[in-house]
Amino acid sequence: MSFPDRLTAFRKELGFTQQQMADKIGMHVSQYKRYEAGASQPTIDVFRRIALALNVSADMLLFEPDERGPDERLKLQFEAVSNLDGKEREAVETVIASILHMHDARRWTVKN
């Protein structure tokens, strides 16, 4: 589903008209209609106001439900980590953060 389709679906789910949605985000309804038609794309500021008005995350507006996220193996591991106690979870988060920092450092120091 495309951004315009998701935008329309979320608006309709909340029972808002296009005019009500335009009023909520502070713009003329004709511009809002362009977003739903796919003829125009909102600026970051307007996109933020749209997400807030619809009470959804930016990811929900931009991506398919499983388009952005860990693969199935990592999902299972993250679920297992969520069952750990606070200190164990914090230790896992520290290890992950450290590995990601090392990866970034290596990426920025490798000569092309």
Of 44, 62, 80, the one marking the end of a domain is 62
User: What pLDDT, on a 0 to 100 scale, did the predictor assign at position 34?
Assistant: 98
Calpha distance 62→58 (Å, rounded): 6
Q: Are residues 7 and 51 in the same domain?
A: yes
Percent of the chain whose predicted confidence (pLDDT) is above 70: 97
pLDDT tens digit string along 53-103? 999 999 899 988 777 777 778 888 888 998 999 999 999 999 999 999 999
- CA-to-CA dists, residue 19 to 11, 14, 22, 30, 87, angstroms: 11, 13, 5, 9, 49
* Confidence (pTM): 0.63
The total number of structural domains that make up the chain: 2
CATH number of the domain within which 39 lies: 1.10.260.40
Q: Note whether residue 67 is domain-resident.
A: no
Domain coverage including residue 54: 3-62
pLDDT band at 11 (very low <50, low <70, confident <90, very high): very high
* Cα 7 from Cα 25, distance rounded (Å): 13
Same domain for 44 and 76, yes or no, is: no
Check whether residue 12 and residue 52 sit in a common domain: yes
Whether 32 and 53 map to the same domain: the answer is: yes
